[in-house]
Amino acid sequence: MQPIKLSQIEWHNVAILFTTPILAIIGCAFVPLQTNTFWLAVAYYFFTGLGITAGYHRYWSHRSYDASRTFQILLLAMGTGAMEGSVKWWSRGHRVHHRYTDTEKDPYNAKYGFWWSHIGWMLIRTENKARVDISDLNADPLIRFQHKHYAALSIFMAFIFPTIVTGLLWDDWIGGFFFVGVTRLVFLHHSTFCINSLVHNLGEHTFDDKRTPRDNWVAALITFGEGYHNFHHEFPADYRNALKFYQYDPTKWLIWFASLAGFTYNLKMFPSNEIEKGRLWMQQKKIDEAKKNLNYGVPIEDLPTMTFEDVKSKIKETGIKLLVISGVVYDVTDFMNDHPGGKGFLRVSIGRDVTASFNGGIYDHANAARNLMQSMRYAKLVGEVPEELKALEE
């Protein structure tokens, strides 16, 4: 990153993002918190937060479902109270983020560090010539209206509206402003900012590890379900972020419940067959990585070849303890005393093909034995073994 110049600082964002925490601290220190006001602050936190996740994010940025105009207006009002910019600005940035994740053109590039992706990108303007299609947003008069009047609308929805509600309903004008307005906003800001910072740094690469997004169920708890971010970046057009019923994704639940009333429809879901392929692909990748740390012996195709005559003369000349199982010659010299089945069984097996005995004729060995024997591979057998050297009496 280049050194920062004063002219790059986004002063209005600095003002909002630094003034609100200071006001919240003042409010918490000096303003008495009424129970009604507290619960309204919690409710308004969900109301405005879901406006961002169900509205700004899953509807306008990704079009992961369709919504009636009434529901769009509701989502717009909810999201406007989160003071995170207009839908047009937010969704454009988000589409750029998906297209250019982790690159220089990603507005909240997680590769520039936690604090940059959390808040720094809003405080410092950087040149970004990334292009994405937002013609659908430009064509929508509702989105154009919100963009044009965003400052007034967001001040009203973030501060004035909750103040009026608490003031008129239980005469707590100051509490309404400080707790439902300001303090709620600070919590909401930083919880949603965690989607760009925390879940690009901590969690599981469930479906792909090509880029930074991760699945983090703890982050899902504070981000209305958006913590399942690896899934989201892999399947962005899916209206869900969490797949399992027990995973916390209230944004998905809202969209789904709204569909029962006809407010939302055409809820998009990526085919589960493909989702599972992604999950297995990643699991396989992790297994392959872990296997690199284990000794699987010399691959059979890389072993030298021996005839059964060679095996016999090798044993005779060197005293090495060789036996044959399924076409592979094993050296059990150092294993004789450690064999859980006893030394005797191995001793009578030397210089023989004991495939049948090993596979059930005497004892049907478990996986442990089959894994262990890989490190004892000695040669690949070519040619026949005399029949009398195959059978072994118990």
Using CB under 6 A as the criterion, which residues of the chain lie in contact with ligand HEM when the complex forms? 330, 332, 339-341, 345, 349, 354, 357-358, 362-363, 365-366, 368-369, 372-373, 376, 392
Closest CB to ligand HEM among residues 340, 383: 340
Report whether 154 contacts 80 (CB < 8 A): yes
What is the closest distance, in whole angstroms, from the C-beta atom of residue 348 to ligand HEM in the complex? 7
Closest CB to ligand HEM among residues 311, 332: 332
Select from 266, 264, 225, 219 the least CA-distant residue to 243: 225
What is the closest distance, in whole angstroms, from the C-beta atom of residue 248 to ligand HEM in the complex? 43
- 369's CB contacts (< 8 A; 6+ apart) are 358
Gap between the Cα atoms of 370 and 279, Å rounded: 29
What is the closest distance, in whole angstroms, from the C-beta atom of residue 368 to ligand HEM in the complex? 4
Rg of the chain (C-alpha set): 33
Closest CB to ligand HEM among residues 170, 363: 363
Closest CB to ligand HEM among residues 126, 326: 326
Distances (CA, A) of 338 to 320, 335, 388: 16, 5, 27
Angle CA 122–124–130, to nearest 5 = 75
What is the closest distance, in whole angstroms, from the C-beta atom of residue 386 to ligand HEM in the complex? 17
10 Å CB burial of residue 144 (0-12, 13-18, 19+) is: middle
Closest CB to ligand HEM among residues 34, 326: 326
Closest CB to ligand HEM among residues 253, 335: 335
What is the closest distance, in whole angstroms, from the C-beta atom of residue 322 to ligand HEM in the complex? 10
Select from 48, 45, 43, 61 the least CA-distant residue to 239: 61
Amino acid at 93: G
Closest CB to ligand HEM among residues 36, 374: 374
What is the closest distance, in whole angstroms, from the C-beta atom of residue 255 to ligand HEM in the complex? 52
What is the closest distance, in whole angstroms, from the C-beta atom of residue 375 to ligand HEM in the complex? 9
Q: 10 Å Cβ neighbour count for 151?
A: 10
Gap between the Cα atoms of 169 and 146, Å rounded: 28
Select from 366, 384, 310, 335 the least CA-distant residue to 345: 335
Select from 224, 165, 197, 191 the least CA-distant residue to 46: 224
Angle CA 242–248–249, to nearest 5 = 55
- 226's CB contacts (< 8 A; 6+ apart) are 53, 57, 192, 195, 199, 219, 220, 232, 241, 251
What is the closest distance, in whole angstroms, from the C-beta atom of residue 294 to ligand HEM in the complex? 16
Closest CB to ligand HEM among residues 165, 320: 320
Closest CB to ligand HEM among residues 196, 357: 357
Any idea of the CA torsion for 152, 39, 226, 77, to the nearest 10 degrees?
Answer: -30
Closest CB to ligand HEM among residues 116, 345: 345
What is the closest distance, in whole angstroms, from the C-beta atom of residue 319 to ligand HEM in the complex? 17
Gap between the Cα atoms of 371 and 267, Å rounded: 48
Residue nearest to ligand HEM (CB): 341
Strand partners, 285: none
What is the closest distance, in whole angstroms, from the C-beta atom of residue 376 to ligand HEM in the complex? 5
